[in-house]
Amino acid sequence: MNDQAEQLRKIVSSTKPVEDKAGNMKIITIASGKGGVGKSNFTVNLSLCLKQQQKNPIILDADFGLANVEIILGERPKFNLAHLIREECDLKSLITKSKYEISFISGGSGINEMFFLPPDKIESIGKSLVQLEDMTDILLIDTGAGINDIVVKFCMLAHEVYVIVTPEPTSITDGYALIKTLRSNFTMQSKIKVVINKASSKQEAHEVFTKLFYVCKNFLNSEIEYAGYIPYDEKVLSAVKSQIPVVIYDKKSKASEAYYQISKNLLTNHTLSDKTQEKTSWINRFKRIFTN
Ligand SMILES: Nc1ncnc2c1ncn2[C@@H]1O[C@H](COP(=O)(O)OP(=O)(O)O)[C@@H](O)[C@H]1O
Ligand SMILES: [Mg+2]
């Protein structure tokens, strides 16, 4: 037991691991309180829009069980994170390049396994994942529904968290509950941006955001930012049915234009927030977060 604690302390306090590259890669986690609000579609379409603007994002599908990203992209990856954990593949073969030229990592059962790994194993996964720095400038992490340990940890890892909310009252209250958990229980410092999805109008999106903004400000003393809105658009549904992301399926659709706008905002506001997080590399955060 003591040995283990000592080992853990060493890992957490090691200031200069060999693999530390002090991070140019930005990590953005996409989360929501409630499921079915549009996270996976947002993640995939946002990364396609970023790709169009000469970025090279990689998606980590951290929704254990549903694997929505690969379904939206119409792909069947050979390996998932569990294979990396069991050393059955390396990071390069874990990354699937989709037919639309964006790359993703399937979390698969590996996402759950991460919670039961000893610190030395976390360390070795960290060593593999740090190679992502050479492959991408933006890592987008799509999470599952609900406010659980997995979601919280991937939010803690991020430089920015995009919380997706729809105008449905339950989605707003669940979105608030997530923000509250991150800010109060875990005192997460990263920036929180809110996307209103499936809005019937710009005005409705603004109203929903304003409501959420004031509740967060008054009850959590925390300010959230508006990332933009995506209108409710039947084209998203048809695109999902065809297993083609909507920004490819119909570039001119309202939803596609909205995704593009949000991606543009993301790149212009890419100072990416928190100074203290910028100083510590994400890989150190990764080890600290996942060995706890
Ligand atoms: N802007 C939108 N307009 C209409 N339907 C949408 C929109 N965004 C998502 N959807 C639909 O909502 C459902 C859930 O989306 P998904 O991205 O899988 O959500 P999550 O990942 O949050 O569970 C899908 O059927 C999708 O087609
Ligand atoms: Mg999903």
Look at ligand 1, atom 27, and give the residue with the nearest C-alpha.
237
pLDDT band per the 50, 70, 90 thresholds, residue 3: low
Amino acid at 192: I
Residue nearest to atom 15 of ligand 1 (CA): 38
pLDDT for residue 149 is more than 70: yes
Strands (E), the chain: 26-31, 58-62, 95-97, 103-106, 138-143, 160-165, 191-199, 225-231
190 within 8 A of 155, measured Cβ to Cβ: yes
Distance from the alpha carbon of residue 74 to the mean position of ligand 2, in angstroms: 14
- Does the Cβ of 46 fall within 6 Å of ligand 1? no
Question: Looking at per-residue confidence, does 23 or 234 come out higher?
Answer: 234
Closest residue CA from atom 6 of ligand 1: 236
- What kind and span of H or E run contains 282? helix 282-290
Q: Is 175 in the pocket of ligand 1 (CB under 6 A)?
A: no
Would the pLDDT of 21 be above 80?
A: no
Q: Is the pTM of this model over 0.75?
A: yes
> Ligand 1: does its nearest atom lie under 6 Å from the Cβ of 36?
yes
Give the pLDDT confidence score for residue 112 in this predicted structure.
82
- List the chain domain ranges: 24-290
**What is the percentage of the chain residues whose pLDDT exceeds 70?**
88
The pLDDT of 131-148, averaged and rounded, is 92
pLDDT over threshold 90, residue 292? no
Q: How far apart are CA 119 and CA 101, in angstroms?
A: 34
Ligand 1 mutation pick, 141, 142, 164, 237, max ligand atoms within 8 A of CB: 237
- Output the CA torsion 25→123→96→137 (10° steps): 0
Task: Find out whether the beta carbon of 237 lies less than 6 Å from any atom of ligand 1.
Answer: yes
Q: What's the pLDDT at 234?
A: 98
Phi (first) and psi of residue 34, to 5 degrees: -105, 150
Mean pLDDT of 34-62: 95
Ligand 1 in reach of 262 Cβ (< 6 A): no
Please state the rounded mean pLDDT for residues 170-177: 96
Going by CATH, does the domain composed of 24-290 fall within 1.20.1250.20?
A: no
